[in-house]
Amino acid sequence: MFDCIAVVGATGAVGTIIRELLEARMFPHRKIKLIASARSAGKTLCFAGREVIVEELDGAVFDGVDLAVSSTPDEVARDFIPEAVRRGCLVIDESGYWRMDPNVPLVIPEVNPEAVRLHQGIIASPNCSTTQMVQALKPLHDAARVRRAVVSTYQAVSGAGLAGTRDLIGGMRAALDGGGFQCECFPYPIASNCIPQIGSPKHRGYTSEEMKMVHETRKILNDDSIQICPTCVRVPVGNCHSESILVETERKLTAEEARELFAAAPGLVVLDDLDKKEYPMPIDCSGRDETFIGRIREDISCPNGLAFWCVSDNLRKGAATNAVQIAELLLKGKGRAGG
């Protein structure tokens, strides 16, 4: 048991779910701190039947904290996490800032739980679009070695925060009313639209979101030979990211073999019957902690190719749930500090 735990970014969309999960899963602790920006400091939130006052994020707030689960922007994580570690706090970080640091393990508990033992005070949780893809790739990679994956994402507005959700709702209302709407989050209207850019321009025409999928996948699976070709698209869906994934493996896998591998993998649920129109959809997967797989079929253009559809709640398994699962790994003793 940790004596004192903290949730950083406790009033945000992901932080709220982290609080709910810690309470629902009865994560053992004696004391909890809820930490947020100055704007939210002083608010009172209910946790496990008791009132907790939100504290402002600064270095001193981590005195006496054993474990913090943090969901903040990258620049905030960059500035406060080293200070939290210096004060003896172990941090599970949801931001993108520490993920590719060679001294920071990047962990999906169903995929590489052993990596938590390598931490030096920080454990990173992957990008939401990476998490669900790597969960799906893991059993295929173990069975037949993934050589290449082509992925197109259909990413919900909740991945852009509350402002993204407001853009979708406000834009839909304006379209129905025949009025105008000023976008708050996205560069173009998202209602009745798809935006084929998430993140800033990076390597050879790929965006930062797309390159996260490349680099994070290789780090989590510990295999730099895997080739990834991603296209990330924002779509007018409230919650849950969907992905169309084409995988080329070293050894051929039939659709039935893949279906069995997916069904046996922890955290994956197969929903795959085209005749009955059964396949994962965001409307059914929102609020769930599993990652759902469907439309499993052999690639008719490549001998060792396999195509499938993947849906996951980006706020839960793509963020909050994964971080809480890492905390639970630490409780089991699998995350004692390495060197």
Indicate which residues carry an active-site annotation.
128, 241
> What are the φ and ψ backbone dihedral angles of 296, each rounded to 5 degrees?
-75, 125
Enter the tokens of residue 157: 């507005």
Give whole-number Cα distances, 112 to 106, 174, 212, in Å. 9, 45, 18
Cβ-Cβ contacts under 8 Å for 60 (sequence gap 6 or more): none
Backbone Cα Rg of the chain: 20
| CB within 8 Å of 331: residues ≥ 6 apart | 1, 2, 27, 28
Q: Look up residue 275 and give its two tokens.
A: 């005749």
Which tokens sit at 308?
């499938």
Q: Looking at this protein, which amino acid is placed at residue 297? A: R
Q: How many CB atoms lie within 10 A of CB 162?
A: 13
